[in-house]
Amino acid sequence: MSTYELSTPLKKEDIKKLIAGDVVYLSGTVYTARDEAHAHILELDDRDEKLPFDLEGAAIYHCGPLMVKEEEKWKAVAAGPTTSARMSGMTPKLLEKHAVCALIGKGGMQGIVEALKDKCVYLAYTGGCAALAAGSIKKVRSVHWPQLGMPEAVWELEVERFGPLVVGIDTHGNDLFEKVREHALNAFCQLR
């Protein structure tokens, strides 16, 4: 297991060296996106409309942050990860159109290993770390689609040493979550 310090926008060579189980700290721009934001991105893609942000080499964080406005600037109060499985069905289509290099969330994503191969990694962030995550956010650069509501809008965040993030699914087809499931099943079967 290795530890990496990476910056966005990510390059393919950055993520192809990562192996499931490695630890990553991320700096640069991260975009939050939950269910509604994913659906809105796909709707705009279907209409061949340009997004108001650039997903080339981007990191998408499955997060619905709690923000406050102080002196006309947004500040993150809490920004913990949300369950990534909800976005599993939309992710392959998103990755067909956009060169996103990292997805960040909690709990893993089943059924997307093939969609991630050679192009994107899934980075797991521990649930319950909303204050820690907010502390890594140095600036809220922008908010896109605020009409979706605070947790569903796309927040463009400037982060510094965001993590620790564990590579849950790498670009080589290794899925840490699947290995844990298999190990647990084998252990259960041996108990019976």
Residue 86's domain is classified under what CATH number?
3.20.130.10
pLDDT for 5: 98
Tell me how far apart the alpha carbons of residues 36 and 51 are, in angstroms, rounded to a whole number.
Answer: 15
Tell me how far apart the alpha carbons of residues 119 and 133 are, in angstroms, rounded to a whole number.
Answer: 25
pLDDT for 129: 82
| C-alpha to C-alpha distances, 97 to 8, 44, 80, nearest whole angstrom | 19, 11, 27
Give yes or no: 183 in active site: no
Range of the structural domain that residue 51 is part of? 3-191
7 closest CA partner among 58, 72, 71, 45: 58
Average pLDDT, consecutive stretches of 10 residues, N- to C-terminus, the chain (192 residues): 96 96 98 97 97 97 95 93 95 97 95 95 90 93 96 98 97 86 61 64
pTM (predicted TM-score): 0.92
Q: Which residues, including other chains, have CB under 8 Å from residue 50's CB and lie 6 or more apart?
A: 44
Count other Cβ atoms within 10 Å, centred on residue 45.
16
Count of domains for the chain: 1
